[in-house]
Structure 1
Amino acid sequence: MKPPRPTLFDFHGVPMTHIFTDDWENIKHFQARPDDILIATYPKAGTTWVSYILDLLYFSQTRPDRQTSMPIYERVPFLENKKPNHPSGTDLANSLDTSPRLIKTHLPVQLIPKSFWEQKCRVVYVARNAKDNAVSYFHFNRMDSVQPEPGDWNSFLQNYMEGQMAFGSWFDHVTGWWERKQSHPKLHYMLFEDMVEDTGREIDKLCSFLGLTSTAAEKEQIRRQSQFDNMKKDDMANYSSAIVMDFKISPFMRKGKVGDWKNHFTVAQNEQFDEEYHKKMNNTTLHFRTEV
């Protein structure tokens, strides 16, 4: 018998599941360090990709053993994760022996522990266009037993548009972080579509933001290593050791493309989504591409 899937509940105005809130006191009071780098995303926006690139940028020369002996979710702990019988994300982050510590989160901006702002930590935020993001999140929820039951594609899409997802509304998430970027100079806002279009260019921008002086050869090696097909084959990056995920249903790293939404959205769904999108994204300067 498989354990029942979790259900959503309201947590400080954001739909969440217990796995991401059970450690809340430790999350809320987490002590960031000035050189910590926080990788923030809405789920299924390229989190693992950027985590992998940052880990290579910082440690491929000095700690190459990390890439072959530690899965990415140990190298870059998921701050709010609290699975039963596993170390919590805060415990894993506190046990990291690297400088900087790379830590990931899916929390909306208003729930981020205060110490990250107080310590003026650098934050890398990655956003993905809503249509591809919805498709990716749907397939992820199908295979990840700690996510709520997704239902069929149409009902999932309706819930997605209404923000009834773990971590809340995509619209609120991406615009909330975009607004914070305007007043927080240490926040680098990346778009998944830009990374797909020219990974090397986006690595250059990351290095510039982080003050890293990697050589052209090192950056090219990282660009090659972080290509989707290479990461998908890498057992330290593809989550194949995560027992809560059923790869028979769908792989954790599925396609990594821009425009796969066209294989899922019906004409009617697309029209409804566009109408909702224009309503909710009308007052922001943030713009996405749904094809590259």
Structure 2
Amino acid sequence: MSGEESISYTESIHRAKNIYRFPLIPVRGIPLMSHIANNWDEICAFQPHPSDLLIATYPKAGTTWTQEIVDLLLHNGDADVCRRAPTVQRVPFLEIFAPQPIPSGLELLSKMDPPRVIKTHLPIQLVPKGFWENKCKTIYVARNAKDNMVSYFHFDRMNQTQPEPGPWDGYIHKFMKGELGWGSWYDHVKGYWKERQTRNILYLFYEDMKENPRREVERVMRHLDLLLPDDVISRIVELTSFQVMKENPMANYTFIPKPIFDFSISPFMRKGVVGDWSNHFTAEQSKMFDEDYERKMEGWNIPFRTQI
């Protein structure tokens, strides 16, 4: 997309009216923000092309990181090409129906030719059936529950369209009960894990990506049926490091103005580490959370790590 289109998109955000914290409305039992729920029939009816790629995550589990890795892999590690437009324009957010004049994910997708890379936070049972019927490749990224919750909490504080998070001690209970946008973390990670082999899903872990980013970039490359030289892989690993991405205006969301993202509260890319949860949980909160976690994840051998 051209620079003019990118500028126009950013300017449209500045002109957006009626920005407020959207309430949650259940869709098939999953709480979604009202602008998504109110347009659900159109979202559900979306028909992807078989060549489209879906990147799915629970919110704040490494979505932007994965989008940047994929975009660089598809463009042979060309940093300039991957700065052609903001992340939200290069990889449309399927279910977002933000207040006009911000274009919705479906609007952006309607103007793009396949193959397209598409982002979603929908749990697997709400993903439009066309993705599975057309055997679209999917990449799912999962992050350990404690760090995921901390990141989501700070995002909900700074994103003025997300429901009000309230105090930390109450947010823990909302998370455990699945009362946040896009529902239960537990059901989300289990749903994609259960279907990973039957639905062509590459299941990645945020902690593995932090521990050995090159290995995980190569896994994504193979999933995309690509074969890039070692020097290009090395460049992609460097360009998708947390520090480089935090300074990349096309990836760090600084193009979203303060009425929507209040960076004085928290940056969009905050820390990007494993184990930050220990700076937020009290010993009592951690014990309570761990006991609840064991009950909810009993019988699921999903290898999450809270430290590396």
Q: Which band: TM-score by shorter chain?
A: over 0.9
Q: Deviations over 1:203-234 (max 9, x none)?
A: 11111221101111111100000000000000
Alignment of 1:208-223 (within 5 A): 208-223=222-237
**1:3 Cα shift?**
5.2
**1:183 Cα shift?**
2.1
Cα distance between partner residues in 1 of 2:273 and 2:87: 21
1:199 counterpart = 2:225 = no
SS class of match (1:137): helix
Q: Deviations over 1:162-208 (max 9, x none)?
A: 11000000000000110111422x11000000000000000111112
1:83 maps to 98
- Matched residue type, 1:216: D
- Matched residue type, 2:27: F
- Deviation beyond 3 Å, 4+ runs, structure 1: 63-66
1:133 maps to 148
Cα distance between partner residues in 1 of 2:195 and 2:214: 26
- Matched residue type, 1:161: M
**1:46 Cα shift?**
0.1
1:266 counterpart = 2:282 = yes
SS class of match (1:181): coil
1:183 to 193, 198, 205: 198
Q: Deviations over 1:2-23 (max 9, x none)?
A: 9542222221111111122233
1:58 counterpart = 2:88 = no
For structure 2, which runs of at least 5 residues remain unmatched after alignment?
A: 1-17
2:45 maps to 29
Alignment length (residue pairs): 289
**1:64 Cα shift?**
5.5
Cα distance between partner residues in 1 of 2:141 and 2:162: 21
For structure 1, which runs of at least 5 residues remain unmatched after alignment?
A: none
2:53–2:117 Cα contact (<8 Å) kept: yes
- Matched residue type, 1:90: L
Which shifted more, 20-29 or 141-150? 20-29
**1:102 Cα shift?**
0.4
1:280 counterpart = 2:286 = no
Q: TM-score, normalised by structure 2?
A: 0.91
1:122 maps to 137
**1:249 Cα shift?**
0.5
Cα distance between partner residues in 2 of 1:189 and 1:3: 35
Q: Deviations over 1:212-265 (max 9, x none)?
A: 011111111000000000000000000001131111100000000000000000
**1:60 Cα shift?**
4.3
2:188 maps to 173
Cα distance between partner residues in 2 of 1:149 and 1:272: 23
SS class of match (2:56): strand
Cα distance between partner residues in 2 of 1:46 and 1:202: 13
Cα distance between partner residues in 2 of 1:91 and 1:25: 15
1:242 to 256, 259, 274: 256
Q: TM-score, normalised by structure 1?
A: 0.95
1:23–1:88 Cα contact (<8 Å) kept: no
1:41–1:105 Cα contact (<8 Å) kept: yes
1:230 counterpart = 2:244 = yes
SS class of match (2:193): helix
2:94–2:106 Cα contact (<8 Å) kept: yes
Cα distance between partner residues in 2 of 1:156 and 1:177: 24
1:108–1:173 Cα contact (<8 Å) kept: yes
- Matched residue type, 1:240: T
- Matched residue type, 1:221: R
